[in-house]
Amino acid sequence: MSSLGIRLAALAAGIVLVAFAAWIFRADALTSGPMRAALAVLGFGREAPTGAGPAAGSGGPKGGVPVETARANAVRLAETVRAVGTFRSDESVIVRPEIAGRVIETPFAEGQVVEQGALLFRLDDSIAKAELVEAEAAYVLARQNNLRARELLEKGAGTARARDEALARMEMDRARVELARARLAKTRIQAPFTGIVGLRQISVGDYVAAGQDLVNLESIDAVKLDFRIPERHLAVLAVGQTVAAEVDAFPGRSFDGRVYAIDPQIDPAGHSIAVRARLPNPERRLRPGLFARVTLTVSESGESISIPEQAILPRGEKFFVYKVIDGKAALASVEIGRRVAGQVQIVRGLAPDEEVVTAGQMKLQDGAPVQPIGARPAQMPAPSAAPKTGS
């Protein structure tokens, strides 16, 4: 055999030996120190240092099977219904004149608060004032004529009919005075309640007709919230239940209130019930027309144990969880109640603050050692889970 062939054969044998040695080291098939030392002498590796532990990846995780855990927590449970709704003013009116006339004064500032009785508009009152003066003068004359007719009758110089006609004339003129006063008063348009005026639709000098829109007035120190819920919730719906509303204008905030009215008529088309709640609004942040996401609390119970629903292991008609006791998994049977937002009510089988496995159960057996990698409290949503304001 030529020298080239001998070299190629030696090179191939060396490659096979190196590959075999590498496979032995990776699989941990050889664990004795002398064999490793022998391979190291041949140039295929180096002897592991004396006292060194197993090579990385040479066994399972130390301390047991890694699992995620959570702690059972005692919370108050609430049954809620979600809906969408719209805010309304507590009181709202479009201010309109009762008589026609020319506007001569608008003494309010748009968008500002006005008190009940404050003057909003004044119409030209010159004709109304003249009519009142005329009516008062006629009434004075009629009253004098009534006195004369009564005196004449007492002296026998007059008739009862003349006295009665004078009395009737006086009463008619008195009524004309009251009518003229009423017409004059209608030239002054006042705020019917305390609230915020909107944007006026007319200007000084405009001639307005009776019933024409002038400006809107809104009372929003408290606001109403109208929403609808499915008719299947009728049995649990009641006045006084709490609502929590969230609006896009104030992300992360919740505004609380109470139901104060329920429409007795169920919508036959949508089979829903109209509900109205009132929410305090002292800062006047909420405005009429805002869209709201509503959470209505229809029932509330005492404290119960809750855990994340991923901790539940259904087996047939029964439910189990793995508790973590002294670093070991303990399979326990539990009785569950309601499920709310990823949490499960535990009626029986767990105590507050007990630690349960929420991930990694498939690798466990009863009594197996475990290594929790994160324990967190399990929180069941309260009646209003979002941050609360406006209460």
213 lies in some domain:
no
In a shared domain, residues 244 and 308: no
How far apart are alpha carbons 124 and 102 in whole angstroms?
5
Indicate whether 328 and 189 sit together in one domain.
Answer: no
352 φ, ψ (degrees, to nearest 5): -55, 140
We report the CATH number of the domain holding residue 101 as 1.10.287.470
Domain count, the chain: 4
Residue 374 counted as domain residue:
yes
Give the torsion through C-alpha atoms of 230, 231, 234, 240, to 10 deg: 40
At 230 the pLDDT is: 94
DSSP for 314-343, written as a single string: EETTEEEEEEEETTEEEEEEEEEEEEETTE
Residues whose CB is less than 8 angstroms from the CB of residue 190 and which lie 6 or more positions away in sequence, other chains included: 117, 118, 119, 120
Domain boundary among 300, 323, 340: 300
Could you tell me the residue range of the domain that residue 362 belongs to? 65-75+301-382
Ranges under pLDDT 70 in the chain: 1-12, 14, 16-63, 77, 300-302, 341, 374-391
- CB distance 339 to 77 below 8 Å: no
Instruction: Using CA atoms of 117, 123, 127, 133 in order, give the dihedral in degrees to the nearest 10.
Output: 20
User: What is the CATH number for 286?
Assistant: 2.40.30.170
**Which of 280, 276, 289, 296 has its CA nearest to residue 249?**
289
Of 27, 23, 24, nearest in space to 35 by CA: 24
Q: What is the DSSP letter of 283?
A: T
User: Does one domain contain both 99 and 201?
Assistant: yes
Contacts 24+ apart (CB under 8 A), 236-239: 236/79, 236/298, 236/299, 237/262, 237/273, 237/275, 237/298, 238/262, 238/298
Q: Same domain, yes or no, for 187 and 282?
A: no
Domain assignment of residue 48, yes or no:
no
Has residue 49 been placed in a domain?
no
Q: What is the pLDDT of residues 144-169, one digit of tens each?
A: 999 999 888 888 888 889 889 999 99
- Do 128 and 199 have their domain in common? yes
Look at residue 374 in the predicted model and tell me its pLDDT: 61
Residue type at 391?
S
Residue 154 lies in a domain: yes
In a domain, 99, yes or no: yes
Neighbours of 249 (CB within 10 A): 12
- 264 and 331 both lie in a single domain: no
Residue 375: what pLDDT?
52
Residue 339 CA to residue 314 CA, distance in Å, equals 14
Written as one letter, the residue type at 52 is A
**Do both 261 and 171 map to the same domain?**
no
267 lies in some domain: yes
pLDDT for the residue numbered 365 = 80
Predicted pLDDT at 27: 43
Whether residues 86 and 234 fall in one domain: yes
Place of tokens 């036959």: 268
Residue pointed to by tokens 């003013």: 89
Among 183, 208, 233, give the residue marking a domain's end.
Answer: 208
Of the three residues 300, 325, 352, the one that is the final residue of a domain is 300
Is residue 145 included in any domain, yes or no?
Answer: yes
